[in-house]
Homo-oligomer: A and B are copies of this chain.
Amino acid sequence: MSRLALKSSDGIVLPPSFCAWLSKTNDLTSRFVAAGRIPGLINIAGGLPAPETFPSAELAELAREVIHDYPHECLGYGPTDGLPELRDAIAARFSSDELHLRRENVLITASGTQSLDVIGKTLIEPGGIIAAQFPSYVGAMDAWRPREPHYRDVVFAEGEDDLVASFAGAQFAYTVPNFSNPTGKLVDLPTREAIVDAAERTGVWLVEDDPYGTLLYDGEPLPTLIELSARRSRGEIYDGPVIYMGSFSKELVPGLRIAWIIAAPEVVRALTTAKQGTDLCSSGLTQRIGLAAMQNGLIERMRPGIVELYRERRDALCAAMTEHLAQWFEWEVPVGGMFVWATARDAWIDTDRLVGGGMEAGVLVGPSSVFDPWGKNRHAIRLNFTLNPRDKLAEGVRRLADAVRSMGEQR
């Protein structure tokens, strides 16, 4: 795959082109960016938090304070694995009677995307296999594309013998058990047990991506995979196969670009080596702001308001869908997260085409084809309910219904 420079007709050597993987990237982002310029377009495609939840006055004050109190830490280079106090605070927050975490279990990163990038750099050799259930998070596939992995499409469900066969030989398994992006699905407890079992029995690393865990609108939270894994471990410090990912983006604000990975110390050390060549270290300033927002209780104080707002918006979106889309689509109401996944009832509904029709009608939704590496699913859409107020969600769904109707009339 070496790319040699080419000679032009007059003997001049031409520039080598860019790496091959770049041409395999979906154009979702550029289409979404272009759509952002359409006046009046209602964007229910992305996974954006509601900006009215941002505690800007508190964070402005915290930013000033932390630079004043910790100038060298905020403004200088810091340790590649993160500020020790923030690592300790994350370890303490996620520790329980069964899950024993110390600083050595925690790597601070500059976003969930960076967590995925360093995991890819550490675990995926070219041609290596990732076991995942599809549809799955498009951003994870974006992060891993430069490593050119193969994907094994696995149904994550009880019946652990199948899972053992599916995991064996993979570099790792990837899952978003809490309100999976894009499907919004909560993975149930028996399936969680089976997934952890399969990871333990095969020795395959298990990447648990949990950006939405605190966005729970109905019922009680289920134990995370790393908690279930810790029950099987006897160590003083977690050393199992789960590589857990969390972030400040959905529970505080995304603009800090601070996230974390919790894993066995040997994994954290390897990931730290990968992070060294990725950005050397994360910003001390934004780490300190996030830490201060944990320590002074800001994040805990914000949570009920965020949950209440997003629950209302989920209900508003689903009510509008029931009114306008039920004849063409079916869906489950998600108990958490940011998305509703709607599957077409009829084969004539090509959702790639529908996204284009929706844009003409003034609404943007996510097409199912981008959520697997093969573009195989063209019969579902992902709708986001966190960004827009209720009336805009309802209007967006009405516009989408118009687009479906006009697609139906044209067939």
Q: Which A residues contact B (CB, under 8 angstroms)?
A: 1-5, 8, 12-16, 18-20, 22, 25, 29, 33, 48-49, 51, 54, 56-57, 59-61, 63-65, 67-68, 71-80, 110-111, 113-114, 116-117, 121-129, 139, 142-147, 168-172, 201-205, 241, 249, 253-257, 270, 273-274, 276-286
Contact = CB atoms under 8 A, between A and B. Distances in A.
Contacts of A68: 56-57, 60
Contact of A1 (B5, B127, B169): B127
30 contacts: A2-B126, A2-B128, A2-B129, A5-B168, A5-B202, A8-B203, A12-B201, A16-B123, A16-B172, A16-B205, A19-B121, A19-B122, A29-B80, A48-B76, A56-B68, A56-B71, A59-B67, A59-B75, A60-B63, A60-B64, A60-B65, A60-B68, A76-B254, A77-B255, A110-B110, A113-B280, A126-B126, A142-B276, A256-B285, A279-B279
A76 B63 contact: no
B255 A76 contact: yes
Contact of A125 (B1, B114, B286): B1
A5 B256 contact: no
A255 B78 contact: yes
A306 B278 CA distance: 28
Given A273-B25, A283-B283, A2 B33 contact: no
Contact of A5 (B60, B64, B111, B169): B169
A273 to B, nearest CB: 5
A257 B60 CA distance: 19
A285 B122 contact: no
A47 B25 CA distance: 36
Nearest to A59: B67
Protomer copies: 2
Contacts of A201: 12-13
B64 A61 contact: yes
Nearest to A267: B18
Given A22-B270, A204-B5, A257 B277 contact: no
A31 to B, nearest CB: 13
Contacts of A79: 33
A278 B278 contact: yes
Contacts of A278: 113-114, 117, 143, 278
Contact of A202 (B13, B111, B241): B13
A117 B349 CA distance: 41
Contacts of A67: 56, 59-60, 63
Contacts of A60: 63-65, 67-68, 71
A51 to B, nearest CB: 5
A19 B49 CA distance: 35
Scoring A61, A67, A73 by chain B CB atoms within 10 A of each residue's CB, the highest score goes to: A67
A1 B148 CA distance: 12
Nearest to A80: B29
A265 B73 CA distance: 36
B241 A2 contact: no
Contacts of A19: 121-125
Nearest to A254: B77
Contacts of A5: 168-170, 202-204
B1 A279 contact: no
Given A29-B276, A125-B1, A145-B277, A255 B18 contact: no
B25 A54 contact: no
Contact of A22 (B56, B122, B285): B122
Contacts of A280: 111, 113, 139
Contacts of A63: 60, 63-64, 67, 285
